A = this chain, B = another copy of it.
Amino acid sequence: MSSTEQDLQRGSATIASIAAELGVSIPTVSKVLNGRADVAPATRAKIEEALERHRYKRRNRGPTTAGPPLIDLAFHELDSAWCIEIIRGVEAAARVAGVGVVLSELGGEHRPQQAWLDAVLARRPLGVILVLSNLGQAQRHQLESRSIPFVVFDTAGEPPTGVPTVGSNNWSGGLAATRHLVELGHRRIAVISGPADVLCSRARIDGFRSAHEEAGLTVDPALVRHGDFYVDGGYEHGMQMLSLPDPPTAIFAGSDMQALGVLRAARELGLEVPHDLSVVGYDDLPLARWVGPALTTVNQPLLDMATTATTMLLELARGEDPPLRRVELATELVVRESTAPPPEPKDR
């Protein structure tokens, strides 16, 4: 297809032209756009295909739902205190705007299931915030054709051009945490990050590598691990690495929860933190300052990130062009009790 043909197609289709092309009635096309269930699946699939092929985009949102407007907030998984910070931020920003928040969990998947998207289309929210998730191209077009904007919070994958995102500077966070350990004198430093297919994990490990490079240190591949962000992952990788013949003297964890697991492994192995082992967390959840020892960690401004994502989404929903579509808030190292110089070789 030439670019001229593409230009002609993009946005030139109307409900009427699509109905005529497919030999269905205008109300049938309209029903599919409004997420109504009373259309035969085959007809619906045919109409969705035509909407995508013509890059149809509704000009206005049509009748809104009864009651106050809603936004959808979807987590790939609801777990730990990490989610609560984001929920609080989104709920508070939405409440000020008189908007309700519908909360969903995508069952651990980083890509929503169609059933969830169908419910969103039928609900017709002002917009959607996806946390650690992303949409497939067809799903993305389904929202776009209904003029339902979406924002991705803390990108899990490489988001396609033009997708608005809010995150934090993971590379800087990884750099600052590792520099801190290097400056304390550590030379064998381990990192446990999140899954390799989550972009923020890779950025943090790259920051970790950069801090090694600038100090002229070599990274031992045996000390670079990918886990999930949960306590169990930190515990298991911690146990494995601390049982190596030449164990690390410091571990940089991918989350505060993971760091809790590392602390647990250290206790079970009779290592005292920070005397025998330094541990750095990530996120700076409220509990980080309360656990023993209080965690040195990288502060991720989750509440501010949630507020920013909500504000951006509501701007997009009003048809405004937000000044920034890719926002990265700054991370900051918070030094507490879980880091210290490495033990003298004779101590180990």
The interface of chain A, by Cβ under 8 A from chain B, is 34-35, 63, 65-68, 70, 73, 78-81, 83-84, 87-88, 91-92, 95, 98, 100-105, 119, 122-124, 231, 235, 257, 260-261, 263-264, 267, 286-287, 290-292
Q: Which of B68, B104, B260, B261 contacts A123 (CB 8 A)?
A: B68
Chain B residue numbers with a CB within 8 Å of A122 are 66-68
Chain B residue numbers with a CB within 8 Å of A261 are 290
Give the distance in Å from the alpha carbon of A288 to the alpha carbon of B36 in the complex. Answer: 45
Known: A80-B286, A98-B119, A260-B290. 8 other contacts (CB 8 A): A63-B66, A80-B84, A84-B84, A92-B105, A100-B102, A102-B102, A260-B291, A292-B292
Q: Is the CB of B290 within 8 A of A264?
A: yes
- Minimum CB distance partner of A83 in chain B: B84
Q: Is the CB of A119 within 8 A of B292?
A: no
- Minimum CB distance partner of A268 in chain B: B292
Q: Is the CB of A287 within 8 A of B231?
A: yes
Give the distance in Å from the alpha carbon of A184 to the alpha carbon of B339 in the complex. Answer: 36
Q: Is the CB of A287 within 8 A of B290?
A: no
Chain B residue numbers with a CB within 8 Å of A35 are 67
- Minimum CB distance partner of A100 in chain B: B102
- Minimum CB distance partner of A121 in chain B: B67
State the number of copies, please. Answer: 2
- Minimum CB distance partner of A234 in chain B: B290
Pairs of residues from A and B, 7 with the lowest C-beta to C-beta distance, nearest first: A67-B123, A67-B122, A65-B66, A103-B103, A260-B290, A100-B102, A78-B88
Give the distance in Å from the alpha carbon of A274 to the alpha carbon of B223 in the complex. Answer: 34
Q: Is the CB of A66 within 8 A of B124?
A: yes
Chain B residue numbers with a CB within 8 Å of A124 are 66-67
Chain B residue numbers with a CB within 8 Å of A84 are 78-81, 83-84
Q: Which of B66, B79, B88 contacts A66 (CB 8 A)?
A: B66
Pull 12 A–B residue pairs with CB atoms less than 8 Å apart, ordered by A.
A34-B66, A63-B66, A66-B122, A68-B122, A78-B87, A78-B91, A91-B103, A92-B105, A101-B103, A231-B286, A263-B290, A264-B290
Give the distance in Å from the alpha carbon of A231 to the alpha carbon of B288 in the complex. Answer: 11
Give the distance in Å from the alpha carbon of A257 to the alpha carbon of B65 in the complex. Answer: 40
- Minimum CB distance partner of A122 in chain B: B67
Chain B residue numbers with a CB within 8 Å of A34 are 66
- Minimum CB–CB distance from A85 to chain B (whole Å) comes to 9
- Minimum CB distance partner of A230 in chain B: B286
- Minimum CB–CB distance from A163 to chain B (whole Å) comes to 24
Q: Is the CB of B95 within 8 A of A100?
A: no
Q: Which of B98, B119, B260, B290 contacts A68 (CB 8 A)?
A: B119
Q: Is the CB of B123 within 8 A of A100?
A: yes
Q: Is the CB of A81 within 8 A of B81?
A: yes
Q: Which of B83, B101, B264 contacts A292 (CB 8 A)?
A: B264
Give the distance in Å from the alpha carbon of A200 to the alpha carbon of B283 in the complex. Answer: 32
- Minimum CB distance partner of A63 in chain B: B66
Q: Is the CB of B287 within 8 A of A260?
A: yes
